[in-house]
Amino acid sequence: MCGIAGVIYKDKKTHPVGEALTSMLESLQHRGPDSAGYAIYGSLDFPENYYQLNIEVKRRRGALDNLKSLLNQISPIFEEQLIESVGDSDVYKCKIALDEFSLLKPCINEIDDLENVRVINGSHSFEMIKDTGKVKDIAERFNVSSRMGTHGIGHTRFATESGVDRYHAHPYQSYIIPDITVVHNGQITNYWKIRDPLERKGHTFESFNDTECIVHYMADKLDQGYKLEEALDQAVIDLDGPFSILVGTPNGIGIAKDKLGLRPGVMVETDEIFAVASEEMALHDVTDSDEIEQIAPGETRAYTI
Amino acid sequence: MKEYVIDANGMDEKELNRTIKEQAKYHDKLIIDNPDSKHNICAGLTEEVEIEINGSAGYFVGTMAHGPRIHITGNAGWFAGDNMTEGELVIEGTAGDGAGQGIYGGTVIVKGNVGSRTGEIMKGGTVIIGGNSGFMTGLLMMGGKLIILGDVTEDVGESIMRGTIFVLGNVKSLGKNAVMEETTSEDQNELQEILTEYGFKLADKDYANFKKIVNMQ
């Protein structure tokens, strides 16, 4: 069991997405106590080819210095912040510039080769915040309520496979295309059948987590020219198992439910917003509308701005 | 009539249910404000009390209830009225999957649309859906009456053993073990009686248009 939530504001202006998602995820806290995360789009107003890196840094002598020294060889560090977290590590956030998007993943790989550091994500148009613990604590730790944005997705995790750590918290991101994220409630039972062809195409996997498989699958489809709705429709055909998948892109969000409807999902659309969540109580946090719809088994819904 | 208002704002579901059970002993009607789609509201409630839920309920509203008459002004989540044995659950809005699943008795009414597997494994009682119902409506049904006024999608009555499904709208397909029959005049009279009792206004000619779905044996 996990909780998923997403909201997009139709006027394309920035709104307190961090606050909205936090209240939605707090309503879904009972669905997943392990960890939680957000992808808040429109919150970074970066010039072209500037990226934000979130990096887990262990509290070991020299770890942060080594990281900064490597980063300075790649790009000047424009902004930086060290956020105290739980366990034996903190989160280092910084802004760098690269010549083009294709250099982002190699840059992440190079940083990952260092000892005692691991890149959580790198993004241009959205901010990724994910950590272990309760929604309320994570929201306070990273000051999520102050984040403005046009749309976003979020997740509370009840781990049913792979580790419980910051890296395995959702959202997951793929670097096949820029700034695509996925949160997911469920299991993909034909995992290898989906993963093998993607690996043969040269896409690299970092874990055995099925949500990572979904985000690469979705990114690959969008890279082939599928629209978000079309990629979600294809996902319902190709993916087996119980799932509700919520996808975030720089200009939209979309949800797909498995053919048997074995994972929950409800949505609401008003003149102002389009929002989806695992349970209705989360939608009441962002709208007074009673026009809440069940997403049918095998149904997909998306909204792009 | 002795009424009591419970403001559920800030209560967790256990606290809310404890309050409902306690106050149901002393009052004829409980009004629950700010239910905020909490799960399991009125779970296991056995008092013959009237409950007005002002808003929406989450999963398993009225599960294992025996006696109360529950009215929800908003929507309900999955498995509304699950395993109910006696009483009434009326939902003005929509409901999720498995509405009325496994009921032994009483009546579950959803005025709007519902998700899939409506009335799954129900053994008795009556489930009435004012709108449409999703796939495998009446899955593994073992008794009771399931009445759908709107359309139903695939596999209606999948593996049905006993009980009857009546559908006024379109049926996309029947499940294994299910067969469609003509309604008898007794069926039509009974449908009219039940639906009139619960305030559904149909034209007289509509009662002859119900499709009856039962086990093929």
- Rounded distance, CA A135 to CA A138, Å? 5
Q: Write down the catalytic residue from A2, A94, A107, A213.
A: A2
Closest CA to A229 of A209, A211, A251, A208: A251
Nearest residue of chain B to residue A296 (CA atoms): B115
SS3 B204: helix
Size of interface A-B (CB pairs under 8 A): 50
Measure the N-to-C terminal CA separation of chain A; round to a whole number of Å.
30
The answer, yes or no, to whether the previous bond of A76 is cis (omega within 30 of 0) is no
Return the pLDDT at B177. 93
pLDDT tops 80 at residue A163: no
Decide: A128 and A39 in contact? Cβ < 8 Å. Answer: yes
Q: Residues A251-290: pLDDT tens digits?
A: 999 999 999 999 999 999 999 999 999 998 899 999 988 7
Return the pLDDT at A295. 93
Return the pLDDT at A162. 72
User: What is the average pLDDT value for chain B, to the nearest integer?
Assistant: 96
Residue A33: how many other CB atoms lie within 10 Å? 17
Query: Which tokens sit at B16?
Result: 């809310």
CB-based contact, B74 to chain A, within 8 Å:
yes
Decide: A183 and A70 in contact? Cβ < 8 Å. Answer: no
Return the pLDDT at B65. 97
Tell me if B97 and A292 make a contact (CB, 8 A cut-off).
no
Query: What DSSP line would sit under A128-146, residue for residue?
Result: EEEEES-HHHHHHHTTGGG
Q: What is the DSSP letter of B35?
A: -
- Rounded distance, CA B163 to CA B215, Å? 8
Give helix A228-238 / helix A210-223 axis angle, nearest 10°.
Answer: 130
Residues in A touching B36 (Cβ below 8 Å):
27, 281, 284
Tell me if B56 and A297 make a contact (CB, 8 A cut-off).
no
Query: Which tokens sit at A253?
Result: 């969000």
- Rounded distance, CA A1 to CA A296, Å? 19
Q: Residues A56-110: pLDDT tens digits?
A: 999 999 999 999 999 999 999 999 999 998 889 999 999 999 999 999 999 999 9
Return the pLDDT at A160. 76
> Is residue B102 classed exposed, middle or buried when 0-12, 13-18 and 19+ CB atoms within 10 A define those classes?
buried
Spell out the per-residue pLDDT of chain B, length 217, in tens: 899 999 999 999 999 999 999 999 999 999 999 999 999 999 999 999 999 999 999 999 999 999 999 999 999 999 999 999 999 999 999 999 999 999 999 999 999 999 999 999 999 999 999 999 999 999 999 999 999 999 999 999 999 999 999 999 999 999 999 999 999 999 999 999 999 999 999 999 999 999 999 999 7
Tell me if B93 and A261 make a contact (CB, 8 A cut-off).
no
Residues in B touching A280 (Cβ below 8 Å):
37, 56, 58, 75, 77
Tell me if B116 and A290 make a contact (CB, 8 A cut-off).
no
- Rounded distance, CA B164 to CA A26, Å? 42
For residues A231-250, average pLDDT: 97
Query: Which tokens sit at A144?
Result: 């999520």
Tell me if A284 and B59 make a contact (CB, 8 A cut-off).
no
Residues in B touching A281 (Cβ below 8 Å):
36-38, 56, 58
Q: Residues A108-162: pLDDT tens digits?
A: 999 999 999 999 999 999 999 999 999 999 999 999 999 999 999 999 999 877 7
Bridge partners for A54 per DSSP: A93, A121
Closest CA to A154 of A141, A135, A136: A135
Residues in B touching A279 (Cβ below 8 Å):
37, 58-59, 77
pLDDT tops 90 at residue A246: yes
Query: Which tokens sit at A76?
Result: 């000047």
Tell me if A284 and B58 make a contact (CB, 8 A cut-off).
no
Buried b (16+ CB within 10 A) or exposed e, B130-144: bbbbbbbbbbbbebb
Bridge partners for B66 per DSSP: B86
Task: Select from A280, A284, A285 the residue whose CB has the most chain B CBs within 10 Å, as the one to mutate to test that interface.
Answer: A280
Alpha carbon of B59: minimum distance to chain A alpha carbons (Å): 9
A54 phi/psi in degrees, rounded to 5: -110, 120
Provide the pairing of β-strand B126-129 with B107-110. parallel
Sheet holding B86-91, edge to edge: B3-7, B29-33, B50-54, B66-72, B86-91, B107-110, B126-129, B142-148, B162-167, B211-215, B178-181
- Rounded distance, CA A36 to CA A154, Å? 7
Percent of chain A with pLDDT over 90: 89
- Rounded distance, CA A284 to CA A268, Å? 10
Return the pLDDT at B127. 98
Residues in contact with B49: Cβ distance below 8 Å, sequence separation at least 6, in sequence order:
B24, B27, B28, B29, B30, B67, B68, B69
Closest CA to A108 of A66, A55, A165, A59: A55
Residue B69: how many other CB atoms lie within 10 Å? 18
In this prediction, the answer to ipTM > 0.90 reads no
Percent of chain A with pLDDT over 70: 100
Query: What DSSP line would sit under A163-217, residue for residue?
Result: --STTTSSPEEESSSTTEEEEEEE--TTHHHHHHHHHHTT----SS-HHHHHHHH
A107 is catalytic: no
Q: Residues B94-150: pLDDT tens digits?
A: 999 999 999 999 999 999 999 999 999 999 999 999 999 999 999 999 999 999 999
Percent of chain B with pLDDT over 90: 98
